[in-house]
Structure 1
Amino acid sequence: MVFILSLVPVLLATAIFAVAGQKLPARSTAVYLTTALTCAALLAAAGGHLLSAPASTGSVAHLILPLGLPWLGAHFRLDTLAALFLLIINLGGLGASIYGLGYARHESVPDRVLPFFAAFLAAMNMVLLAADAFTFLLSWEFMSLVSWALVMAHHRTEGNSRAGYVYLLIPSFSTLCLLLAFGLLAGGSADYDFATLRS
């Protein structure tokens, strides 16, 4: 769990490098290679979690970090279902990163894609690992905004601007619905972790 969670900042650092290292000649290759290696490591870790889990009950790992709201902290959980979706997402991320190695040679403006690609992979992994409403909503909204930026990467192409506008509206509406649902589930308690909301 700690290993998987420690790979998410690697993806975020890769996104920062994509912005900060604009003058470097092999920046695109470095970004896509780093995301490919990170996705491969996440694939291996999620696969290891699935293989080590007992078939009947599964394996659950919990981690609470002192981040987020002061009284809540950031709760993370890795169970069998999350590990399965980590496999799916990072398999797609690995394939997209390998494709990106060749795509970067033909991309006229790589600055519109590079930082958002790595940040999108990080956000999707965070959504799967979140175990409280605050961390989930923060990760969800970050994923929505970064994916909107990816949709708008080629905003001059016909239809992309409208698609980006629609794409921005739908996740914002879903975030409001999720916020309302979490508020109703929490009721009068001040605890927003999913274990408390389940009970």
Structure 2
Amino acid sequence: MPPFDPQISALELAPALIGARLIVRGVGGLITETEAYAADDPASHSFRGPTPRNQAMFGPAGHAYVYRCYGIHLCLNVVARPGEAVLIRALTPLIGVETMQERRGRARLCAGPGCLAQALDVRIEDDGRPFDGGDLLLELPNEAQPLLVGPRIGISRATDLRWRFGLAGSRDLSRPFPPQRP
């Protein structure tokens, strides 16, 4: 499955991004947590169709969708098929850690989408940009990673969907996952 095929759903892409290398302007690490958002998902920004704010979600797969959350924090997403995106919730910092610490001033640099965006210097101008190695680079892992699966967090609709994915054994998660069921 090509990573940015316009037919791949966010639900397929979200677990595939666990263990991927994400670099933003020379700093980054390995993605440890994601959440999928689909076009027919009432928790998704695309649920009511295209708007000026969510236009990137309807653009090419493999591009960024960046939005401001609560009027304060930026959040970074990877666009899948039209109207679908994967929120990057957390990563293990590996490249440019000192720079990230200067930006955040905290030990948990990238545990949560707002913290991650601040540490990586994600900008609203990144909305719609490709993950092609310019300012934004995304490299998928060579093999599937061991996953944790659970409900999405920080939303009020479709809270029962188990569309949150995490790297099993990672300490770099935004919040713990519920006990795993077989």
TM class by shorter-chain length? under 0.3
Q: TM-score, normalised by structure 1?
A: 0.26
- The structure having more radius of gyration, on CA atoms, is 1
Determine which structure has the larger helix proportion and give its number: 1
Higher RCO, 1 vs 2 (CA within 8 Å, ≥6 residues apart): 2
